[in-house]
Amino acid sequence: MALIYLDHLSATPLHPMVKEAMIQNLETVFGNPSSDNQVGQPAAAALEKARGQVAALINAADPKEVVFTSGGTEANNHALKGVAIGLREKGRHLVTSNIEHKSVLNSLRTLRLLDYRVTSLDVDQYGLVDPAAVEKAITPETILISIMLANNEIGTIEPIADIAKIAQKHKIAFHTDAVAATGIIPVDVQKLGVNLLSLAANQFYGPSGVGALYIRKGTPIWPLLDGGLQENKRRAGTENLIGIVGLGAAAELAAQEMPKSLPRIKTLKDRLLQGIVTRIPEVKVNGDPEHCLPHLVSISVTYIEGESLMMLLEDEGIIVNTRSACASGSLRASHVLIGTGLGHALAQGTLVFTLGWDTTEADIDHVLEVMPNIVQTLRDMSPIYKKEHAVG
């Protein structure tokens, strides 16, 4: 059975053109980009080509502002710890939101061990950060503000440009985790006004395990990985060239395809969302209805648990993601959903669909066809379903 893959946030299949670029590189180039000879030079050329491709995607002023990493997690770690170390004399306070990705929150947890202080702002029921709240949290000791561009669980897009203006006004560095957004929606570091931005290739049809940190010229930041002089002395270590070539190709592709793909995906997402709320009663839609990623649907289904729902959908060939505690390795409820004020019980029944450029209308219709019955089967099995309905 051909799979209906709706978990693009976890990983995207390699685009054929990305695969082609990577195979080409595998077959013809093996040298170390740092070797200044005829073996290393093609590697260096491939590296710089990819750098240019990524810089173009995010409209960086200079390709040198793009530093390749092992993915979004490393980029986030580097932004937070690098600035904290770099500006340790200036202050020890950072501001963030409480729905950031774990790579941000846990990096801050480590900084707390080193006596940095963190203000973690609450979000509203839609997951939105209030720029006024950011400004209120700023102190003379604040050295970095980190707010994600789009949330990977509920899709909410934050008012980054507005927050950047506040950061600039107070002359504080501003980082945004744009992993869930880059390659999906237009991301322009000049329009956004950020100092630092994280992105990852596996979100936009590139290989897993590679990403980049954009560092605006003039941003004081210490390296995360110490050692040699690679990445303009920002990030030591012999480069993962094959991955980086893939990232570059994917970036160029994303820039080209986005004008066509984005509206198409948005239409399919709306079809899915409308279909679900029409056919299944007592479903809560998470995230901001207006400022949301165009390919993400997060719903919480009352009375049932997410992993069992996800498994029964998989039985029908539909791959999605869930945010139930039981399905997460840590057995904790999603901090993002709880952060928006969702009750713990309802949070357990959360599914996240992320559509891709290869998703079709027929795929969506098949989901809408099978899901209501699956939900009803699980509701009939649930001890809280009948109780609720017995009261009425």
Partner 1 sequence: MAYSPVVMDHFKNPRNVGEILDPDGLGEVGNPVCGDMMSVYIKVKDNRIEDVKFKTFGCGAAIAVSSMITSMAKGKTLEEGMKISNADVAEALGGLPANKLHCSNLGADALHSAIQDYLDRKAGKVKKGGEADKEPHIKGIEGGKCYCPYCEAKVQEEAHFCMFCGSELPHEHDH
Give catalytic residue positions.
Answer: 326
Can residue 7 be called a binding residue for partner 1 (CB under 8 A)?
A: no
The C-alpha atoms of residue 147 and residue 173 are separated, in whole angstroms, by: 11
Q: Which is nearer to partner 1, 211 or 306 (CB)?
A: 306
Can residue 331 be called a binding residue for partner 1 (CB under 8 A)?
A: yes
What is the helix (H) or strand (E) element at residue 176, kind and residue range?
strand 173-177
Q: Which is nearer to partner 1, 23 or 384 (CB)?
A: 384
Could you tell me which stretch among 112-120, 185-193, 272-280, 284-292 binds partner 1 (CB under 8 A)?
Answer: 112-120
Q: Are 156 and 149 in contact (CB under 8 A)?
A: no
Residue with tokens 């079809």: 271
Can residue 109 be called a binding residue for partner 1 (CB under 8 A)?
A: yes
Q: How far is the CB of 258 from partner 1 (least distance, A)?
A: 34
The helix-helix angle for 40-58 and 241-279 (nearest 10°) equals 30
Q: Are 28 and 42 in contact (CB under 8 A)?
A: yes
Can residue 348 be called a binding residue for partner 1 (CB under 8 A)?
A: yes
Q: Measuring CA to CA, which residue among 48, 316, 72 is closest to residue 183?
A: 72
Site size with partner 1, rule: CB under 8 A: 35
Q: Measuring CA to CA, which residue among 219, 223, 211 is closest to residue 251?
A: 211
Sign of the alpha-carbon dihedral angle for 367, 372, 375, 381: negative
Q: Which is nearer to partner 1, 37 or 330 (CB)?
A: 330
List, in order, residues 6 or more apart from 247 with CB less than 8 Å away: 50, 53, 54, 68, 201, 206, 207, 210, 211, 212
Can residue 326 be called a binding residue for partner 1 (CB under 8 A)?
A: yes
Q: Which of 218, 259, 383, 392 binds partner 1 (CB under 8 A)?
A: 383
300 phi-psi bin (left φ>0, alpha ψ -120 to 50, beta other): beta
Q: Which of 146, 198, 298, 308 binds partner 1 (CB under 8 A)?
A: 308
Q: Which of residues 189-248 bind partner 1 (CB under 8 A)?
A: none
Could you tell me which stretch among 65-73, 103-111, 226-234, 284-292 binds partner 1 (CB under 8 A)?
Answer: 103-111
Kindly report the number of other CB atoms within 10 A of residue 91's CB atom: 17
Q: Which is nearer to partner 1, 132 or 384 (CB)?
A: 384
Q: Which of 307, 313, 357, 374 binds partner 1 (CB under 8 A)?
A: 307
Q: Which is nearer to partner 1, 153 or 307 (CB)?
A: 307
Chain residues that interact with partner 1, rule: CB under 8 A = 98, 105-106, 109, 112, 118, 120, 303-308, 311-312, 315, 324-327, 329-333, 343-345, 348, 380-384, 386
